[in-house]
Chain A
């Protein structure tokens, strides 16, 4: 059809451009994989030499050889536990209200927009909120509970959004069946909607908690301590956390502390990995259950 040489070369050129474009897009995509690989290799190379039992069981120290992350690791576990205790019930309750109870009106639209916007507020702003409200106003001080409440507010939008999606995915026929048996709204939600939505909710919750584990700025704002040579024993105790410890080490000028920070990062990433692995396990388990 393209008898004239002109169209022929044109077609050739267009084809070449198309191939180049495809190659470019592919290169951009694989770059992400390369960057991740570099990041992981770099951190492992820097920090792996520190990660041993002594590192995990020692308090921080002025001397890199003796420094460890015991208090930070324990602090993080406390913080996440408390955050989960606060954020999961509130997040699930909000999602249930918005999906199952709220009339589709102005108020529910407003709450919805509000949640979407909260999800985009910089984490440091939550830190300022926590500082003024929890640390100062409620006089909780630089305690675990102040940190956990701040983190809870921070991840609440994520939990709500994920839970709503999971609840919405529950087929309406199940609700109809329950209502037709003379069930109340709450009985229907409690016995049928929630159990069906639970795997999805849990996955969202774990993702949100993973985010909380790595958040640093809000903890800096509420004044989590950077040097803690004791273990917190209750929610009102002062604490430090892994990201704070990492930040502290990384912001010192000495090389040794930098690589200590890398050691801390390895521990942090392992904790995150464990969380995400459990999310994947939950997903697989429930998918098997459905078959």
Chain B
């Protein structure tokens, strides 16, 4: 019995290692708590000065100049324009590429396209911002001369290019997960590839595709450097993509580039806007996971 007993030294060492590893795993939980606390603290002070409804529903955003006004809708409008524009580009292109990769392309073509998509996904956003500013904007202006130097369209286009690889690869995964029996079954009924794809494969992979769309839009909302460089710093309620606008993220960058002392209302605004940004993206990410989970249940 003696020698089968737990050796004290070894037990403590193993237990110590386990606890150490657990603490490391807790870092991610602490990070989340940290984000929430940091954002909430300043945001609560902010709402002590500016009423919540004035922030959420106010039509004018002028926090730095007098008379001050703290209606966040112009920033939300700017972000929405970028997201809508980017989605119009990235969602159809991403899905189309995914269908091509998963249903039509040969192994050789896949081996070319996949790395290209990976490279596109790996290019830093500041590079895309530069590309928007120095290539896309002049291109738009050569066609539509009334376009402003900073404009929503340029940011939206480059945003679309940026999230396209993500949509393509997530949709590709979703399409590949569709059981082959569905494909062969549909072809056996004499359907053309178009009909098989549109009526059978895409509907079967719909949850995965929708989830990828939601995730891509969430990414576009959080996109910062490209829109800061390309789309300007003019918070305004407009639907004209050729004008200068400001997104939530670009506003945060604008303030932090200046010298804003902590504790002032200007400093607090970035946390209020940051909170809004965080809540929206979190909600969308959770939504995407929810959709995906449904999808897995269907197949199990």
Contacts and interface: CB of A to CB of B under 8 A. Distances in A.
Contacts of B39: 125, 128
Interface stretch (A55-63, A112-120, A172-180, A230-238): A112-120
Interface string B127-155: 10111011100000000000000000000
A246 B129 CA distance: 10
B266 to A, nearest CB: 14
Given A36-B116, A111-B25, A122 B224 contact: yes
Contact of B38 (A38, A42, A133, A272): A133
A26 B193 CA distance: 14
Contact of B123 (A39, A156, A160): A39
A121 B129 CA distance: 20
A21 B124 contact: no
A14 B289 CA distance: 37
A98 B133 CA distance: 44
A115 B10 CA distance: 32
B270 interface: yes
A267 B203 CA distance: 44
B27 interface: yes
B135 A42 contact: yes
Interface residues of B, number: 85
Contacts of A120: 215, 218-219, 281-282, 284-285
Interface in A252-284: 258, 261-262, 265, 268-269, 272, 276
A29 B113 contact: yes
B289 A269 contact: no
Interface in A17-32: 17-18, 21-22, 24-26, 28-29, 31-32
A246 B29 CA distance: 33
B252 A18 contact: no
A201 to B, nearest CB: 14
B101 interface: yes
B249 A122 contact: yes
Contacts of B123: 39, 214, 269
Contacts of B215: 120
Interface string B200-213: 00000000000000
Contact of B127 (A25, A43, A207): A43
Nearest to B225: A216
A29 B97 contact: yes
B126 interface: yes
Contact of B28 (A33, A114, A128): A114
B192 A18 contact: yes
B240 interface: no
Contacts of B253: 124, 217, 220-221
Interface stretch (A77-85, A89-97, A192-200): A89-97
Contacts of A97: 18, 21-22, 24-25
Find the residue from A36, A116, A160, A211 having the highest chain B CB count within 10 A.
A36
B278 A17 contact: no
Contacts of A268: 124, 127
Nearest to A221: B256
Find the residue from A21, A33, A116, A213 having the highest chain B CB count within 10 A.
A21
Given A113-B289, A114-B28, A133-B38, A32 B165 contact: yes
A93 B124 contact: no
A116 B290 CA distance: 12
A35 B24 contact: no
A153 interface: yes
Given A93-B21, A101-B22, A247-B126, A14 B194 contact: yes
A207 B197 CA distance: 33
A131 interface: yes
A33 B124 CA distance: 17
7 contacts: A14-B194, A21-B193, A111-B25, A114-B32, A129-B38, A214-B127, A268-B124
Interface of A: 14-15, 17-18, 21-22, 24-26, 28-29, 31-33, 35-36, 38-39, 42-43, 46, 89-90, 93-94, 96-98, 101-102, 110-111, 113-118, 120-129, 131-133, 136, 153, 156-157, 160, 184-186, 207, 210-211, 213-217, 220-221, 223, 243, 246-247, 250-251, 258, 261-262, 265, 268-269, 272, 276
